[in-house]
Amino acid sequence: MEEHLRCLVTGVTGYIGGRLVPELLKKGYRVRVLSRDTDRLQGRPWINDVEVVEADVLQPDTLPTALQDVDVAYYLIHSMSGKGSSGFHDRDIQAARNFGNAAERQNVDRIIYLGGLGDPDDQLSEHLASRQKTGSILRESGVSVTEFRAAVVVGSGSKSFEMVRYLTERVPIMICPSWVYSKVQPIAIRNVLQYLTSAIEKPETKNEIIEIGGSSVITYADMMKTYATVNGLKRILIPVPVLSPTLSSHWVHWMTPIPASLARPLIEGLKNDVIVQSDKAQKLFPEITPLSYKKAVELAMARIDTDDVETTWNDALISSKGDEEPVILKTREGLNIERRIRTIHSSQEQVFKTFSSLGGEKGWPVFQWAWKLRGIADRLIGGVGFRRGRRNPTELRVGDALDFWRVEAIKPGELLRLRAEMKVPGKAWLEFQAIKQQEKTTKLVQTAYFAPKGLFGLLYWYGLYPFHSLIFSQMIEKLAQQAENKK
């Protein structure tokens, strides 16, 4: 392996690109990343191990610096828009043309591109056709191109998988349109990353279109049934003869975090069977063993099922621009997230000391009666209750019990994350961060995470949200007040 090769990765704020970077670093490659807004890369664990270049594929004059002295460029950029969204196909084509031309002028040896699987002789959806056209435009530049084509990528956080995940978890009885019975060959994110990184070491993959997929050829209905089985859910699927992409996309919009504008191109692409027709991947990469869909689901769910959720929080959630909203509600990788942020005129050490002293004999800053009542209710249904207190009134370490929480992570002076041990229909965490700003100013970030289990878990989250919102909003204000009073 040529360890001194320099790789440029585009789309690093996206799902594939963000996971590819650390894999390339593990293999010893020098990595440069391209982003339109480098502020969005804050907090990435690999940020200090890569070169960062701010550039935009739609602005050709920004690309020469990004591509200078690059050996292999990963092109992981594409639009996701449905019909009626003006010009997404044209933007994709123009972006690919700009990138390919700039790569040719900078003598880049190869471009590796991840496109969409589908028989080009079929009447492909606009989105799938655009993905394949992008590969053609990159090849027109004269640079050697390795184009991988994949269907559904199975990994926690990917749009296609999250659509299946949420539909299955939220709807016990599903009305299924015809596209649910199209055949698909899903592939685990682990396998995708293996193909992308291994291609560098195989010059014979230059100028090849390589279809990749897992070991399972199934329908989308089978995907939902398998997901339900893996997660201990019982689901009933009722087929219906027609349900237009527009109606389907709005159904997905309301039942999942994926908006209709992103769901529609996904759904329109489901009218085609997307399965691997060539054995080229097997011949070129005999060392890679494609995983089954069931195994891929199990791996995707392992993060939450083993409480290993920290890897889902690596994005730059705090903006350096100072314009963040005081309350941020979002859903990410199966987690419902409520984040509140306050700037406090106190030291980072004092802010950390304030929130790390919560619970036990001192109690909680607001609605102490409500915390105790929740503990009583938990005790009545066989839970741990609220009376465990804490080992030490000011000191915490990983594994400590704190009322009905457990200390899952702690970074002295910076972070405290608690995992709920009361009985809830899912899994819950409460996290506090103290982020040093200017002298004697600290940003307090208070985040509640909830991973619901099934429909009841969602009803629990949304049903109690008004009450939780009241408690958490007043709690951060009280913590800020306490920290400032003791500065």
Q: What is the pLDDT of residues 342-363, one digit of tens each?
A: 888 899 999 999 998 888 778 8
- Alpha helices, H only, 62-188: 63-67, 88-105, 126-140, 159-170
323 and 301 share a domain? no
Give domain status of residue 1, yes or no.
no
Residue 317: per-residue pLDDT: 29
Is the domain of 267 the same as that of 186? Answer: yes
Query: Based on the domain organization, do 298 and 322 belong to the same domain?
Result: no
Whether residue 474 sits in one domain with residue 398: yes
Give the integer Cα–Cα distance in Å for 456 and 423. 13
Residue 72 sits in the same domain as residue 108:
yes
Joined together, the tokens standing for residue 183 give: 């055949």
226 and 167 both lie in a single domain: yes
Q: For residue 154, what are the contacts with CB-CB under 8 A and spacing of at least 6? A: 160, 161, 186, 187, 188, 189, 214, 293, 296, 297, 300
CATH of the domain at 82: 3.40.50.720
Q: How far is CA 268 from CA 167, 265, 430, in A?
A: 17, 5, 39
Q: Which amino acid is located at 388 in the chain?
A: R
**Top-ranked range on mean pLDDT: pick from 1-10, 56-65, 150-159, 445-454:** 56-65
pLDDT of residue 262: 63
Q: Which pLDDT belongs to residue 260?
A: 64
Could you tell me if 288 and 332 lie in one domain? no
Q: Domain with 417 in it: what CATH number?
A: 3.30.530.20
Residue 51: φ, ψ to 5°:
-85, 140
Cα separation, 77 vs 419, in Å, equals 36
- Residue 287 maps to a domain: yes
Q: Which residues of 93-111 are buried (b: 16+ CB within 10 A; e: fewer)?
A: bebbbbbbbbbeebebebb
Encoded tokens for 199: 């291609």
My answer on whether 325 and 199 are in the same domain is no
What's the pTM value of the predicted model, to 2 decimals?
0.66
Q: Which of residues 278, 305, 332 is at a domain's end?
A: 305
Cα–Cα distance, 252 to 175 (Å, whole number): 12
User: What's the rounded Cα separation, in Å, for the pair 348 and 339?
Assistant: 19
Q: Lowest mean pLDDT: which of 1-10, 305-314, 417-426?
A: 305-314
pLDDT at residue number 315? 31
> Is the residue at 312 inside a domain?
no
Q: Of 270, 305, 340, which marks where a domain is finished?
A: 305
Q: Give me the mean pLDDT over the 117-124 stretch.
A: 80
Expressed as residue numbers, the domain containing 341 is 317-485
Is there a single domain that holds both residue 171 and residue 245? yes
Q: Which residues contact 242 (CB under 8 A, 6 or more apart)?
A: 177, 178
Query: Does residue 81 fall inside a structural domain?
Result: yes
Residues 451 and 372 reside in one and the same domain: yes
Note whether 175 and 240 are within 8 A (CB).
yes
Q: What is the pLDDT of residues 402-436, one digit of tens each?
A: 888 888 888 888 999 988 888 888 888 889 999 98
> Which stretch, 123-127, 167-171, 187-191, has highest mean pLDDT?
187-191
- Is 328 in the same domain as 296? no
One domain for residues 345 and 446: yes
260-269 helix and 159-170 helix, angle to the nearest 10 degrees? 100
Asked if residue 415 is part of any domain, the answer here is yes
DSSP code per residue over 191-251: HHHHHHHHGGG-GGGTTEEEE---S--EEHHHHHHHHHHHTT---EEEE-S---HHHHHHH
For residue 423, the model assigns a pLDDT of 83
* Domain tally, the chain: 2
From 256, 277, 305, give the residue that closes a domain: 305
Would residue 420 count as lying in a domain? yes
Q: Does 190 reside within a domain?
A: yes
